[in-house]
Amino acid sequence: MSDTTRETITITTTNGHTVVVNAYLTGRESSDLRATLFAGITVKPGDTPSVPLANTVTHERATLEKLIVSFDGNTDNPIAKFENMPSDEYDEAVAQIKEKTRAFLVPKK
């Protein structure tokens, strides 16, 4: 399947915004996101690996950029419009996207 025919899911927020997202990530996208998440991490024998918080924030945004197709029907830079929602609505939408796509490498809290 090409990106133009990828299955999508529609999320509707409590304030009525509609967000169309890709239902899944491609293998290439997942690999790119792993590189984002684990950038700069070195682990020595005996160390417990940990992911810096900054990496998880960068990873979340990069994942959303790959998943979000449109915001309120607009496909022109939908991530910017998505990020401009009130924070509680943004968090609600991200939680729905995480639940419905299972695309995030960082576990849900």
Q: What is the pLDDT of residues 58-100, one digit of tens each?
A: 778 888 999 999 999 999 999 999 999 999 999 999 999 988 8
Q: Alpha-carbon distance 103 to 24, whole Å?
A: 6
Look at residue 13 and tell me if it is in a domain.
yes
Share of the chain above pLDDT 90, in %: 47
As for how many domains the chain has, the answer is: 1
Strand order in the sheet with 8-12: 8-12, 18-22, 68-71
Look at residue 107 and tell me if it is in a domain.
no
Q: What is the CA radius of gyration of the chain?
A: 15
Look at residue 29 and tell me if it is in a domain.
yes
Looking at residue 106, what is its pLDDT?
A: 53
Give the H/E segment covering residue 106: none
Confidence of residue 1 (pLDDT cuts 50, 70, 90): very low
Look at residue 106 and tell me if it is in a domain.
no
Looking at residue 29, what is its pLDDT?
A: 86
What number of other Cβ atoms are within 10 A of residue 26's Cβ?
14
Mean pLDDT, the chain, integer: 83
Look at residue 42 and tell me if it is in a domain.
yes
Alpha helices by DSSP H, listed for the chain, are 27-37, 53-67, 78-83, 87-101
pTM listed for this prediction: 0.76
Look at residue 109 and tell me if it is in a domain.
no
Mean pLDDT on 22-36: 83
Q: Alpha-carbon distance 51 to 40, whole Å?
A: 9
Share of the chain above pLDDT 70, in %: 76
Domain span at residue 80? 3-101
